[in-house]
Amino acid sequence: MKLISFINLGLLLFTSIFFTGCQGNKNLSPGEGFIDVDGGKVWYSIVGEGKKTPLLVLHGGPGIPSYYLKSLGALGKDRPVIFYDQLGCGKSDRIRDTSLMNVEHFVKELGTVVNHLGLKNYYLFGHSWGTMLGTDYYLAHPDGIKALILSSPALSISRWMTDAGDLISTLPDSIQQVIFMNEKGRTYDAPDYQQAVMYYYHLFLSRKDPWPADLDSSFAQVGENVYNHMGGPSEFTVTGSLRNYDRTNRLGEIKVPTLFIAGEYDEAKPTTVEYYQSLVPGAKFVLIYDSGHLTTIDQPEKNNQAVIDFLNEIEK
């Protein structure tokens, strides 16, 4: 009887220690607020009352606010889902100082968000540019990150540009010519160039027709100066400070469970995303059919199920 009691007590203590170690976070109640960071204030929102390990979401761009990722909030039934708009876009303060428009600043900003929210153990979800931010943050501050979800990643801009060239080559000759001539003359504001950009976006960014309100909201509140300074005039032309970005030589340093996601018609071509997967030990890959770059817009249920299955496998 005493032996049984001792064993039960030991199991109780182990369970308590285990769950404290897995969670270890402050109480993350649903709601929103602002966090002081270098250069201004960033807006955040916590969705869901689930008690499992939180999911922190990094939007793309740079400068494309988090509205288009709102469907991830459905995961809140199991865990807190944390959104925030990076400085310069959405509901966060706008900036003009280009010294804040770089990877180093946004890595530091992410650290401030993590510390303010008291996150000790969490999952990191990044989309597009958010995969660059998330990867760099993990490489610098791996403690507490229990898994990475890298959705439609842009981990090598040279590969991104190669993929963009491949996708442009599938467009009608007249559209290709408009893109070529305006990029040669750097006439990025020309109406015909903008029309060609939107033609490309409706094939490879989001295939929803019409685009839903959440995506319209992201475009309405884009941090255009951040996007242009770090990226460029369009999704398929990177002329900004990210143009030499490449972390393929460091992906082997990732030691946590990692999921890569790509859309069937993604700007980040599935073959490229599978290449990234091959560089991360034990990483998994999920292809979301009938979707462009924005899987959370084009196929939100399929995208969420891929995340749920991945996290459930970790937590079971």
Q: Which residues contact 189 (CB under 8 A, 6 or more apart)?
A: none
Contact 53, 98 (CB under 8 A): no
- Give the DSSP per-residue string, the chain: -HHHHHHHHHHHHHHHHHHHHH--PPP--SEEEEEEETTEEEEEEEE----S--EEEE--TTT--GGGGGGGGGGGGTS-EEEEPPTTSTTSPP---GGGSSHHHHHHHHHHHHHHTT-SSEEEEEETHHHHHHHHHHHH--TTEEEEEEES--SBHHHHHHHHHHHHTTS-HHHHHHHHHHHHHT-TT-HHHHHHHHHHHHHHT---SSPPHHHHHHHHT--HHHHHHHT-SBTTB--STTTT-B-GGGGGG--S-EEEEEETT-SS-HHHHHHHHHHSTT-EEEEETT--S-HHHHSHHHHHHHHHHHHHHHH-
State the residue for tokens 């709102």. Answer: 70
Point out the residues that are catalytic: 128, 266, 293
Strand partners, 40: 37
